[in-house]
């Protein structure tokens, strides 16, 4: 098993203060999931890794390496209700279609919806999110975040109530 990876000849896009910087044909060394080097020289990338360690080389020619995206407002478990009710005004959608479905959700359903939402975000390059969804069991989505590695801000006991219209 390789504990280290070197991305070679890759374009690195990174924020730097108030601008975006682009570096072509760079090397990025990663050891145990932590970046140990970013720069133009392969020898420096190798020197940033422990000695006598097997290294996996990834040829990044024609590829871009950039920071993950952040979803600043999500309702993870609502992935379960996607396409449940479309083309409806907000009030009717929420009160007549979504709240009745949510009232029947069990903790297991919410947990599965949270996991589905996290998987979809990770697959699309999102590495952090703020979940604004109700949790029947405290820390339910936080446990999933620990298990999946996504960074999470969560609302615990966010004031959900049985709103009737």
Region of 95 on the Ramachandran plot (φ > 0 left; ψ -120 to 50 alpha; else beta): alpha
> Tens digits of per-residue pLDDT, 36-53?
999 998 888 888 888 877
User: For residue 4, is pLDDT > 50?
Assistant: yes
Would you state the pLDDT for residue 127? Answer: 94
**Looking at per-residue confidence, does 117 or 51 come out higher?**
117
**pLDDT at residue 112, as a whole number:** 93
SS3 content of the chain, % helix, strand, coil (to 5): 30, 35, 35
Q: pLDDT at position 46, please?
A: 84
User: What pLDDT, on the 0 to 100 scale, is given for residue 163?
Assistant: 46
CA 86 to chain CA mean position, Å: 26
Torsion of CA 119, 124, 129, 134, to 10 degrees: -40
Residue 20: pLDDT band with limits 50, 70, 90: very high
List the one residue out of 140, 137, 162, 165 whose CA is nearest residue 152: 140
Q: Give the model confidence (pLDDT) of 83-101 as tens digits.
A: 888 889 999 999 999 999 9
Percentage of the chain exceeding pLDDT 90: 58
Q: Is the pLDDT score of 1 beyond 80? A: no
- The phi-psi region of residue 77 (left if phi > 0; otherwise alpha if psi is between -120 and 50; otherwise beta) is alpha
- Segments in 17-106 forming alpha helices (H): 42-47, 90-92, 99-103
Torsion angle defined by CA atoms of residues 74, 81, 139 and 91, in that order, rounded to the nearest 10 degrees: 60
Q: Count of CB atoms within 10 A of residue 50's CB?
A: 11
pLDDT, tens only, 69-84: 999 999 999 999 998 8
156 — pLDDT class (breaks 50, 70, 90): low
pLDDT at 133 over 80: yes
Q: What is the pLDDT of residue 124?
A: 93
Give tens-digit pLDDT for 50-65. Answer: 887 788 999 999 999 9
Q: Do the beta carbons of residue 11 and residue 22 sit within 8 Å?
A: yes
């Amino acid at each position: 098993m390789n504990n280290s990876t070197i991305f070679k000849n890759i374009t690195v896009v990174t924020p730097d203060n108030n601008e975006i910087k682009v570096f072509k044909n760079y090397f990025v060394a990663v050891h145990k999931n932590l970046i140990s080097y970013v720069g133009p020289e392969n020898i420096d990338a190798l020197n940033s890794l422990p000695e006598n360690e097997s290294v996996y080389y990834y040829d990044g020619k024609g590829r871009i390496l950039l920071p993950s995206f952040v979803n600043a407002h999500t309702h993870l478990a609502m992935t379960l209700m996607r396409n449940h009710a479309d083309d409806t005004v907000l009030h009717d959608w929420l009160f007549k279609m979504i709240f009745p479905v949510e009232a029947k959700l069990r903790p297991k359903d919410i947990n599965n919806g949270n996991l589905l939402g996290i998987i979809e975000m990770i697959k699309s390059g999102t590495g952090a999110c703020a979940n604004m969804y109700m949790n029947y069991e405290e820390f339910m989505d936080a446990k999933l975040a620990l298990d999946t590695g996504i960074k999470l801000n969560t609302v615990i006991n966010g004031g959900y109530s049985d709103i009737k219209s």
